[in-house]
Every structure is written in structure tokens, then in C-alpha cells.
Amino acid sequence: MSNLFTGWSSNKSKQQRDRDINTTPKNTEGTPKRGREPSHSPEEQPTPKKPIAESSQSASTSGINPRKLEMGGNEAILKQLAEISKKLAALDPIQESITRVEYQCNANTNSAMKAIDEIKREKSIVIYGLPETEKETLGEQLKATDALLSKMDMKNVLIDDLFRLGRKTPNTKARPLLVKFVRKIDKKLVLSTGRRKLMKGDPRIDDDKSPMDRAIERKLFEKFKEVSNGDKAMRRNIWRGTLTITKGNATIGKFTINPANGEINEI
């Protein structure tokens, strides 16, 4: 009986060993591959993560002050801001140069536009008070202008163009008539000597001025009325933005307008 039991145990152990061999991983050579046993070496153990509070505490205990770390970061930021401010300060002269160039460009543009406007008006005059009919034609305007020029002993004057200024309305007085000559010399003769021969009640002749120049003259005329205060012996002369007031051979005063603020100043 015991021999039978022993034989059965031996057979069972052999069968168990066969199963273990078949289930054990094999390497490429076919030999059983042993699984890796867990290591108990402290060098191979994973390092446990410390809590944040413990890290801060350890940093403090190790001699590193967290406030110093924060102050160091602030100092770095302040240093960067100082460098940015320095670079911006270096751009100030460039901005000033750009501003000067812009100012000069604007001044040059204004001067060029004024020169173009003067060229456009250099051969033109304006006649004020010339009667205007209801359905006035270009031929009637030309005929009336020739008659007025004849009164000034201006003959053989070549007219390039003429037209009324402004919009016609039913109840308005005669609109100014702009006359453009072919030759600049004819304009000079009309304004220098020709218009002096006109009588009281005749149409008035003036230079063709820009809207700004006309506004300046209106303002200077108001100044003349203020200074003269109804004194008919006083005379006015407005030339290139300057008002000269005389009485007999004496000069009462000279006035001009400051273009910056529009105020009238005595010179």
C-alpha cells in the first residue's frame, strides 16, 4: 500500500513539474526564463514625493529663504522694466525728428497750395456792384465789362473768361463778377491806375482774393470802423493782411492779424 501511495505521489510530482516547465517563459534558446524577483535594494527603490509644505519646510531648513526667492524674481522684473524704459527713452529723439519732418511737410504742402492758388488768381479781378439782369447772358456780361474798362481808359484788353460768383437767388443784389485776363499786365494796370478813374457810384474793382484773405480783410475793416469811430477824414489801406489807417499825411496806426490765434495786433 505504501509503495503504491509513494508511486502515486512521485507520479503526481512529476506531472506537476512538467506543467511548471511548460508554463515557465522561455528565452530564444528554449531554456526556461526565470521571472525577475522583487529587489530589496534601497538604491533601486523609487523616491517618494514630498508634500509641498514639506518641500517648503525643507527649503527653509536647508538655508534657502522663500522670501529671498520672491524678491529675486521681482528684481529681475524690475531690471527688465528698466531696460525697456531705457530703450523707449532712446526712441524719443527719433519721435522728435519725425514730428519735425511732419511739421515741415505740412508747412511745405500749405506753401505749395498757396502758391498754386496765387498762380490761379494772378490774372483775375473781381467787379462788385455791376448790374445783373434776370436772364443775363455771357455776351451781356462781356459788353458791360468792356464799357467799364473803357471808363478806365483800358483798351484792347484781352479777356480770357468771366462769370458771376455765388448762386443766384430771387431777392439778392448783383453778384460779384470775376474777370480773368489773358495778360497779367492788364490786371496790374487796372488795379494800379485804372480803377482810380472811376467815379462815385461806379462798380468797385478789387483783386481776386482767396476766401481766407477775404475773411482777414473783413476783420481788418471792422477794426478800421472801430478806430475811426465815424471820422470821415480817416482813410484805410489793406494790403497783404496789413491795415494802415491815415488821416491827412499822418499815420494813425497799422494793424495785422496773428494767424496762430486770429487776434488783431498793432504793429
pLDDT in tens, 64-93: 555 555 656 678 888 888 888 888 888 888
Looking at residue 5, what is its pLDDT? 41
Looking at residue 2, what is its pLDDT? 46
Q: What is the mean pLDDT of the segment spanning 230-236? A: 89
Residue 184, pLDDT above cutoff 90: yes
Q: Write out pLDDT tens, residues 133-151.
A: 888 999 999 999 999 999 9
Q: CA-CA distance, 124 to 119, in Å (whole number)?
A: 10
Q: CA-CA distance, 258 to 264, in Å (whole number)?
A: 6
Looking at residue 260, what is its pLDDT? 76
Partners of 249 in beta bridges: none
Q: Which of 10-24, 92-106, 140-154 has the lowest mean pLDDT?
A: 10-24
Residue 101, pLDDT above cutoff 60: yes
Q: CA-CA distance, 82 to 100, in Å (whole number)?
A: 28
Q: Which of 26-35, 40-49, 100-109, 257-266 has the lowest mean pLDDT?
A: 26-35
Indicate the pTM of the whole model.
Answer: 0.54
Q: What is the mean pLDDT of the segment spanning 82-108? A: 85
Determine the CATH number of domain 122-208. 3.30.70.1820
More confident residue, 75 or 202: 202
Looking at residue 171, what is its pLDDT? 76
